[in-house]
Structure 1
Amino acid sequence: MHILKNPSQEEGKEVMPNLQRRNFLKYLGMGSALVTAATMAASCHKDDDNNNMGGNGVSLGTGDVAVLNYAYALEQLEAAFYTQVVLTPYAGISDTELDFFKDIRNHEIGHREFFKAALAANAIAGLEVNFSSIDFTKRDSVLATAKAFEDLGVSAYNGAGQYISSSATGLVYLGLAGKIVSVEARHAAYIRDLITPGSFADSDVIDANGLDKARAPIDVYNIAKTYIKTKIDTNTLPK
């Protein structure tokens, strides 16, 4: 049974060895001044219950903080999944596949740590995940789950953008979210082609206008909750 309470403690020393937390925004292409702006914006929206467990679960907060915590939760899930894939490679995995999974793991860890740094004291605690339904020894199981996570992640970002405020800081967040979702889409395309060559832009994820589909936060959570053991207060999901 794969249940991790703090995924960050499960990562090997090889993960992003030269990347320090205070440089994550710079790593994503933004100046260090935005770290201060993002932290100040988060502290202005600090949730009254300090994100502690309540009767309905973990509160994501309100406003932009809720949107960022929502994305942070998803990135925690993906980072934990790919960390496990690399720690316990499936039978018959090729060196090329393993190298790509390490790259994807590092990207997801970078995304996770970016949100954690931006949210500062408003960040939710590390989620406890439950991967007991995934057989990490089998390629089909791992790839099917990776495909589900990546497609879900792309649709989640596409659906959450509308909830970010139009403030100067909100626009910064929106720009960064655009950079992150484009990376998630690259992951999704790679995973899809590992399963079925040429399936990277199938009609089940791309509509007739050539646009990626979007999901509302509650719909994303209802899919992801299978793998999240920590209870989240859905009343505070962006809406």
Structure 2
Amino acid sequence: MKKLQEQPSEKGDNSSIELLGPMQRRKFFRYAGATAAATTLLLAFTSCNDDDDEMMPTDPETVDLGSGDTGILNYAYALEQLEAAYYAEVVARSLNMFNQTEQQIMQDLKGHEGIHRDFLKAALGSAAIPDLEVDFSAVNFNDKNSILTTARTFEDLGVAAYNGAGKLLEDAGLLTLAGKIVSVEARHAAVIRDLIQNGTFSDTANSQGLDPAMMPTDVLQAAAPFIKTKISANNLPQ
């Protein structure tokens, strides 16, 4: 069980950039620049939507995601916290399990998920849920297969979550931004699958060539073994 800590990128240093290596920094800055612009849009949205409808009461020890579009953003933020924490753990503890190319992939995934997490936190401002307490005790960080199969679970779940939540967003701009994030998550899912077994990168697609979609309740239930904090999605749009 581990309490999520703020990552170095929130302190204004260049730690996350250093992780990406010289050949990746230009791409990183382009990505970060786009994220900053999107964050400005989301901050404007959030400031206009502080007065959500009255919410159902919950256990005081339970984190309620909220309602409306703010609730959906918090839902995404919760999942990005989980993914960012996981890859931070992998990079800190398990890089020696991978070859040089795979190490770069793990570092890139850590960087991307950290950006997604920080992006959503900044956008939500005071409406953001607190840091979640995560639990990776079921993962063997000394076993490459355990690391990758857990990563596959998180990435597939992230793609299905964004796909399912898209229809719940009312703001078209937010839907566009969610589409940009899920496209990156889908790339993550593909590369993890290929690391497990070459050529399986598109195995999640159905006969129509589409990835699955899951509703928040099902996603949170699937993620629950890795999140110690109790989360309520009772007030999310249906």
For residue 130 of structure 1, what is the amino acid of its counterpart? D
Gapped regions of structure 1 (runs ≥ 5): 19-23
Find the counterpart in structure 2 of residue 208 from structure 1.
Answer: 207
Quote the offset at 1:74 in angstroms: 0.2
Letter in 2 for 1:229: K
* Residue identity matched to 1:7: Q
Shift in alpha-carbon separation, 1:33–1:69, aligned structure 2, 3 A: closer
Offset at residue 85 of structure 1 (A): 0.3
Q: Which secondary structure state, in structure 2, belongs to the residue aligned with residue 124 of structure 1?
A: coil
The number of aligned residues is: 225
Q: 1:42 to 1:221 in 2, by over 3 A?
A: same
Of the candidates 5, 8, 19, which is equivalent to residue 7 of structure 1?
5
Report the alpha carbon displacement of residue 43 of structure 1 after superposing the two structures with TM: 2.3
Give the aligned residue type for 1:67. I
Q: 1:178 to 1:43 in 2, by over 3 A?
A: same
Contact 2:42/2:124 (8 A) holds in 1: no
Letter of the structure 2 residue corresponding to residue 92 of structure 1: M
Q: Distance in 2 between matches of 1:25 and 1:35?
A: 15
**C-alpha deviations, 1:53-92, integer Å up to 9, x for none?**
8347111111001100000000000000000000001553
| Residues 121 and 194 of structure 1: CA distance in aligned 2, closer, same or farther (over 3 Å) | same
2:204 is equivalent to residue 226 of structure 1: no
Question: What corresponds to 1:180 in structure 2?
Answer: 181
**Is contact 1:66-1:236 (8 Å) kept?**
yes
SS of equivalent to 1:117: helix
How far, CA to CA, are the matches of 1:32 and 1:187 in structure 2?
22
1:131 match:
136
Confirm or deny: 8 A CA contact 2:39 2:119 kept in the other structure.
no
Range moving further from structure 2, 54-63 or 100-109: 54-63
Normalised by the length of structure 2, the TM-score is: 0.85
Structure 1 pair 42–25 and aligned structure 2 pair: CA distance change class (3 A): farther
Work out which of the residue numbers 74, 80, 89 in structure 1 matches 2:94.
89
- Considering fraction of residues, name the structure with more helix: 2
TM-score where L is the length of structure 1:
0.85
Q: 1:103 to 1:65 in 2, by over 3 A?
A: same
Please say if residues 42 and 118 of structure 1, whose CA atoms lie closer than 8 Å, have aligned partners that are also in contact.
no
Structure 1 residues 153 and 35, CA, compared in 2 at 3 Å: closer, same or farther? closer
1:109-139 alpha-carbon deviations (Å, 9 max, x no partner): 1101111011111000000000000011110
Cα-Cα RMSD? 2.8
Q: Residues 87-166 of structure 1: matches in 2 within 5 Å?
A: 87-89=92-94, 91-165=96-170
- Equivalent residues of 1:60, 1:237 under 8 A apart: yes
Distance, in Å, in 2 between the alignment partners of 1:32 and 1:145 is: 29
Task: Provide, for residues 204-239 of structure 1, a one-character-per-residue CA deviation record: whole Å limited to 9, x for no partner.
Answer: x21111111101111101100000000112323442
CA–CA distance in 1 between the matches of 2:224 and 2:213? Answer: 18
Contact 2:135-2:227 at 8 Å conserved across structures: yes
Residues 72 and 32 of structure 1: CA distance in aligned 2, closer, same or farther (over 3 Å): closer
CA contact (8 A) 2:4 2:133 kept: yes
CA distance in 2, matches of 1:146, 1:229: 18
| Post-superposition offset of 1:48 | 6.7
Instruction: State the distance in 2 between where 1:234 and 1:32 align.
Output: 24
